[in-house]
Amino acid sequence: MDRMTQAAAIHDEIRALAAERDAVIIAHNYQRPEVQDVADFVGDSLGLARQAAATDASVIVFAGVHFMAETAKILSPDKTVLMPEPRAGCPMADMLTGEQLAAWREGHPGVPVVTYVNSSAEVKALSDICCTSANAVEVVRSLRADRILFGPDKNLAAWVGSQLPGVEVIAWDGWCPTHEDVTVEQVREAAARHPSAEIVAHPECRPEVCAMATAVLSTSQMLRWAESSPAEEFIVVTEEGLLHGLAKAAPGKRFVNLTPRMLCPNMKVTTIEKVRDSLAGMRTAIEVDAEVARRALGAVERMVAVG
């Protein structure tokens, strides 16, 4: 049996198991193509959080990284949240601990804390509001504050600051290794090979990379941009898993990643076999301390409400 035939058979197994278990499968845009294809919903962090909050299913199977499954559990505490690969973490989320955030807040009394959803439940519990890359600017604007603390991503903080010049954005020194490693030279080389292409970049990239882009967008915004733009070719400056969704959203258009390709190893450890095994054995269930979850819920709900 070749790989495609095997994947199709596993896909059918998963869909049957999902019906049997009353489960919804949600996957991030950076997941492997076959994992995206078996999911009920594929999206960015904001879209996935909304799905977790709105689903009527008894079980949520979360194909993503740990902070995403934690967020789903915070929003749906009475549901079973399964993570097919519990080792899938996020280096950025690990760069800001609850203890560090508490000390940072103490050093800036009265300054609201905006925390990127790429963070632990413990950090969310100490935050005034969370945000995603899709709504970070609107979240900060909604606070009507002239100073904010923003963590853990310094690059997203810089992007927010550039869009809201009247707000002092005090950034934590964290970053996404996959996006932080992108250089201006890599983007220039891609642009030289594809001179007619639009450049779409994720705001987790360095400011000088974002400055080269036609548009700076979250992954869900990139999908909508590709559909509506008259351009036929795009240089996609984010994790290469999005190219699968882009090809489906805008068939006939061309999408190229940088060289070397942008790959998140944590997003790629989840396989279709692990999704099946997770459902078959009802493993691995994600739990969040009840008090931490209670305190984190307000910050996450405020994020979802901003839209």
Token pair of 267 as six digits: 């997003």
Local confidence band at 1 (pLDDT 50, 70, 90 cut-offs): low
Beta bridge partners of 171: 150
Superfamily the domain 93-175+291-306 falls into:
NadA-like (3.40.50.10800)
**Predicted pLDDT of residue 2:** 76
Q: Which of 83, 29, 32 is nearest to 59 (CA)?
A: 83
CATH of 3-89+268-287, one of 3.90.190.20, 3.40.50.10800, 3.40.50.300, 3.30.420.40: 3.40.50.10800
**Predicted pLDDT of residue 41:** 96
Q: Which of 255, 243, 245, 262 is nearest to 36 (CA)?
A: 245
113-129 per-position pLDDT tens digit? 999 999 999 999 999 99
**Predicted pLDDT of residue 303:** 94
Do 93-175+291-306 and 3-89+268-287 have the same topology in CATH? yes
Local confidence band at 49 (pLDDT 50, 70, 90 cut-offs): confident
Local confidence band at 5 (pLDDT 50, 70, 90 cut-offs): confident
220 and 235 Cβ atoms separated by less than 8 Å: no
Round to whole Å and give the CA distance between 245 and 273.
Answer: 21
Q: Which CATH architecture has domain 183-261?
A: 3-Layer(aba) Sandwich (3.40)
**Predicted pLDDT of residue 157:** 98
145-177 per-position pLDDT tens digit? 999 999 999 999 999 999 999 999 999 999 999
Overall average pLDDT of the 239-250 stretch: 98
Structural domain spans, the chain: 3-89+268-287, 93-175+291-306, 183-261
247-259 per-position pLDDT tens digit? 999 999 999 999 9
CA distances from 36 to 117, 227, 288, 297 (A): 21, 19, 26, 27
**Predicted pLDDT of residue 29:** 97
150 and 156 Cβ atoms separated by less than 8 Å: yes
Round to whole Å and give the CA distance between 79 and 87.
Answer: 21
Round to whole Å and give the CA distance between 11 and 38.
Answer: 6
| 43 CB-side CA count, 13 A | 16
Written as one letter, the residue type at 198 is E
Predicted TM-score (pTM) of this structure: 0.95
The number of residues in the chain equals 307
Beta bridge partners of 192: none
Local confidence band at 112 (pLDDT 50, 70, 90 cut-offs): very high
Burial of 94 by CB count in 10 Å (0-12 exposed, 13-18 middle, 19+ buried)? middle
CA distances from 42 to 50, 182, 273 (A): 12, 25, 18
Q: Is the pLDDT of residue 36 over 90?
A: yes
155 and 177 Cβ atoms separated by less than 8 Å: no
